Amino acid sequence: MSAPRILLHHDATARLAARLAEACPEAELHCCNSYADLPGALAHFRPDIVYAVRFAGSKGYPRAALLGPDGPRWVAVGGAGTDHLGLWETERFIVTNSAGVAAEMMAEYVFGGFLHFTLDVPGLQNDQAARAWNTRKMLRLRGKTLLILGLGHTGQAIARLGRAFGMHVIGTRARPEPMEAVDEVHA
């Protein structure tokens, strides 16, 4: 099998290219950093794979070029959504995405914010500097209700942490069905 021809389509490809070259030294890499340049890059480089990140919004996204005759067989979307691609010919293109890759990290980030504001970290720091201990400020997450709009990968990771913190977890999803770590699921 010949080395894969991979086109990186992102507004900041240098770091991605360096990491990919290290991980897959046999691959032929080409970078494209704008929506406007993608049709020419596809026609010139003729990649097997395009790693694409929607970096300038959906308006003007070069969907037609990516899924056209010069497009690759495989489009690897660097985010969770593929809505910017619209419909594609499933027998002609493989489209994958990165749904769930950062779910645990995002859940921790969410709970970092919850704890920061619930515990009033700036106030605690001020009290500490003043050598004061105000027990009336001690708030907690246990027993509170957590509403999660969308129980995808990230929503489910947040639900697991909510459960671990002793919260009542309510979530929404298009097709409601019982889920692990979620007390109530609604449409």
Distance CA 144, CA 166 (A): 8
Share of the chain above pLDDT 90, in %: 72
Closest CA relative to residue 62, chosen from 81, 47, 42: 42
Share of the chain above pLDDT 70, in %: 98
Beta strands in 33-135 (DSSP E): 49-52, 74-77, 94-96
For 62-84, how does the pLDDT look when each residue is reduced to its tens digit (9 = 90+)? 999 999 998 999 999 998 888 88
- The two tokens of residue 71 are 């497009």
For 102-150, how does the pLDDT look when each residue is reduced to its tens digit (9 = 90+)? 999 999 999 999 999 988 889 889 989 999 887 776 678 999 999 999 9
Q: Phi first, then psi: what are they for 28, rounded to 5°?
A: -90, 125
Between 41 and 59, name the one with better pLDDT. Answer: 41
pLDDT score at 81: 85
* Rounded average pLDDT over 14-33: 94
For 144-167, how does the pLDDT look when each residue is reduced to its tens digit (9 = 90+)? 999 999 999 999 999 999 999 999
